[in-house]
């Protein structure tokens, strides 16, 4: 059996992923997180008298805290397997990537384990986020002066 024949066999025998269903679930979960976030912001503004900007800062803190807690107790991956990208794309996914790397390397110590590996997954997000922000600001300056 040649390599091409084997690849065709693997492709034919592999279970098909329900892409539309996964996209719908991710959309609904991500939208629910956004809706819940707006509810939390409104509660913080109306019940605690915080300004909108401060409420959004507290919302980010709450989402990060929940994601790191769920990762620490080992439940976040189970939720992601059901919620797909709707849970991993927002702030919760970024917090999970940092927390899971810290948990994976905690046995190696603070400096060589956690310190050198905590941004293993999130480092590329930070790098390309900063580079793309710089390029977009540069483009804005060129276009608008």
3-state secondary structure the chain: CCHHHHHHHHHHHCCCCCHHHHHHHHHHHHHHHHHHHHHHHHHHHHHHCCCHHHHHHHHHHHHHHHHHHHHHCCCHHHHHHHHCHHHHCCHHHHHHHHHHHHHHCHHHCHHHHHHHHCCCCHHHHHHHHHHHHHHHHHHHHHHHC
User: Is 118 in the same domain as 141?
Assistant: yes
Per-residue model confidence (pLDDT) at position 89: 74
Per-residue model confidence (pLDDT) at position 142: 95
Domain annotation covers residue 144 = yes
pLDDT (mean) for 122-138: 86
**Of the ranges 29-38, 78-87, 106-115, which one carries the lowest mean pLDDT score?**
106-115
Domain extent at residue 86: 19-93
Tens of pLDDT, residues 26-70: 899 989 999 999 999 999 999 999 999 999 999 999 999 999 899
User: Is 28 in the same domain as 87?
Assistant: yes
Distance CA(78)–CA(70), nearest Å, equals: 10
Q: Is the pLDDT of residue 4 over 80?
A: yes
Per-residue model confidence (pLDDT) at position 105: 77
User: Is 73 in the same domain as 26?
Assistant: yes
User: Is 29 in the same domain as 83?
Assistant: yes
Distance CA(66)–CA(92), nearest Å, equals: 8
**Tally of domains in the chain:** 2
Q: Is the pLDDT of residue 122 over 80?
A: no
Per-residue model confidence (pLDDT) at position 69: 92
Domain annotation covers residue 126 = yes
Domain boundary among 93, 114, 132: 93
Q: Is the pLDDT of residue 123 over 90?
A: no
Domain boundary among 50, 67, 93: 93
User: Is 143 in the same domain as 87?
Assistant: no
User: Is 23 in the same domain as 82?
Assistant: yes
pTM of the full structure: 0.71
Per-residue model confidence (pLDDT) at position 61: 94
Domain annotation covers residue 8 = no
User: Is 65 in the same domain as 112?
Assistant: no
User: Is 34 in the same domain as 79?
Assistant: yes
């Amino acid at each position: 059996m040649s390599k091409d024949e084997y690849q065709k066999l693997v492709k034919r025998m592999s279970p098909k992923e329900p892409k539309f269903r996964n996209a719908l679930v991710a959309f609904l979960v991500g939208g629910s997180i956004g809706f819940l976030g707006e509810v939390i912001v409104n509660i913080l503004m109306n019940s605690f008298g915080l300004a909108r900007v401060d409420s959004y800062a507290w919302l980010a803190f709450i989402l990060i805290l929940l994601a790191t807690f769920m990762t620490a107790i080992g439940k976040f991956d189970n939720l992601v397997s059901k919620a797909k990208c709707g849970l991993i794309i927002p702030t919760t996914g970024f917090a999970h990537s940092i927390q899971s790397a810290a948990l994976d390397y905690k046995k190696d110590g603070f400096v060589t384990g956690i310190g050198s590996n905590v941004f293993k997954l999130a480092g590329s997000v930070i790098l390309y986020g900063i580079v793309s922000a710089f390029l977009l600001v540069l483009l804005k300056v060129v276009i608008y002066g």
